[in-house]
Structure formats: structure tokens, C-alpha cells
Amino acid sequence: MRKLLKSIILFPLILLSFTSLAKAHFLVLLPDTDNIEGAKREVKLEARFTHPMEGGPNMEFKILDSGVLVRGEKINLNWERVLIPSMKGSSNRVSMYKTTLKITKPGVYQIYVDPEPYFEPSEEKYIKQITKVIIQALGMEEGWDEPIGLKAEIIPLIKPFALWEGNTFKGKVLINGEPASNIEVEIEYLNTKNLKAPYESFITQVIKTDENGYFEYTIPWAGWWGFSAIGEGGEIKGADGKEYPLELDAVIWVKAYPKPKEVK
């Protein structure tokens, strides 16, 4: 009987463990707009670490480096750390970050965040997600397809701030400056509408790069979408002094706009 009870108790824990492996973590880097026109001269930004499609949980993370590249100039960002609930109604608080980017000149602004690696016990490895988002300001659009020299980076091959729902997003993955061939790219919708996936397998869409590091994905509906290319970054020493694999991910966020009602 004791063995049976032990099995009954362990079984849901095993299921929970496998379930957690199926869910993708994303560093979300979100501007309040990806197009600056008219009198607007600033962009509000937020960064948090979460499961976008499921709306949580939010997880602790730390920004090591961040910045903005525009027409050969680097702008530093000063982030304000804000504590938010890990889950709705939870007393546990984790970090998210907010800042405001001042628009000083026309151009394409490539914004990035480089976080501290986090340890994933279920996979016995560290994971680092270098994340970027691209906005255009005041009508100057050149340079959105140029790499900015991150260790892990997705280069868009379609203008990333002018996407309709139904457009096919195309990108090229670079890890340490080299094309990343035959690696997985995880895709999630930033779920602001409380949408429910028909099965858990739908939560994270997965495609693979080709031999030259290229991938493409047709965006099914409007909203913010995250693409996370799962790369390898060698090994890293953990807090216990042991060496662990480092997963080095390249993440990009793009917004798809709804089709005009006249063409739906």
C-alpha cells in the first residue's frame, strides 16, 4: 500500500516535470510602438521573463547589458527595476524592468537586452537569451536588416516594423557571428487576449533553420510574436563550481498588424 501511495504521489509530479519541459521561456522586450511618426519623440520599453502564450509565470532575471544602435551610434538605456507578481494573485515578487527611449533623430533603432544566464535544473544547463526588437523613427527605414554584433542574433529578412497578420516572417540566425544551421526556432504569441491553445503542443510553435541558418514562419494573427533560436554557447561554470552547458538563444520580437476591415 505504501508503495502504491508513493506511486500515486509521484505520478503527477512526473507529469508536471514533463509538462514544464514543453513550455518555452522567453525574455519579452516590448516597446509601446514599433513606429514613430508625428510629434511622438519617445518610446516606453519593458522587459520581463515569462511564458508569453500562457501569460506566466513571470520569472526572476537580471540585465547585464543593453543598448540601442541607430545609424552607427550606441545609446545606453537606464532601466528601472519593478517588482511584479510571479503569477496573478501571488505574493511572490520577481523583477521586470522599464525605461524610456528618447528619439533624437530619424532612423532604425535596434534595441537589445543581454541578460545574466539562468540555470534550468530540469535540463541541467544554463540558458542565456539575447533579445532585440527593432523600431523605425520619423520615416528613415534603412538598416533594419543589418546585424549589430550580438553573440546570438536574428537578422530579419522582411521589414520587421511593417508586418500584416498573414505575412511570412523570414530571418537568419547568427551564433557567434556564424550562421546557425539546423537548429530549432521556438515561436510564441504574447497572449494579451486570454486565448486558449487546443492542446499543449500548440503553445510553442517550433520550426528549424536550414543549412544556412535561414527560417520562415507565417504569422497567423495580429499581435506581438517572439522568435527564439536555440543555439549552443559552450560551457559555463555554475555556482557549485561545476561546468554546465550554456544554451545561447537569439530572440527577436515583431508585431503583426490586423488586416484592414475592408479586406478581411
Percent over 90 (pLDDT), the chain = 87
Which grid cell is 46?
519593458
Q: Out of 21-30, 98-107, 210-219, pick the least confident.
A: 21-30
Give Cβ neighbours of residue 202 (< 8 Å, ≥ 6 apart). Answer: none
Confidence of residue 7 (pLDDT cuts 50, 70, 90): very low
Q: Is the pLDDT of residue 21 over 90?
A: no
pLDDT at 14 over 90: no
Average pLDDT estimate for 82-99 = 95
Other C-beta atoms lying within 10 Å of the C-beta of residue 160:
25
**Cα–Cα distance measured from residue 157 to residue 164, given in angstroms and rounded to the nearest whole number:** 15
pLDDT value of residue 24 = 85
In what order do the strands lie in the sheet containing 42-50? 26-31, 42-50, 93-102, 80-85
Q: How confident is the model at residue 23 (pLDDT cuts 50, 70, 90)?
A: low
Residue 86 has pLDDT above 80, yes or no: yes
Residue 241 makes CB contacts below 8 A (sequence gap 6+) with: none
Kindly report the three-state secondary structure assignment for every residue of 56-82.
Answer: CCCECCCEEEEEEEECCEEECCCCEEE
> What pLDDT sits at residue 80?
98
This prediction has a pTM of 0.91
In the predicted structure, residue 152 carries a pLDDT above the cut 80: yes
Residues paired with residue 96 on neighbouring β-strands, in sequence order: 82
Query: Cis omega (within 30 of 0) on the bond before 57?
Result: yes
Mean pLDDT computed over 185-213: 97
Is pLDDT at 185 greater than 90 in this prediction? yes
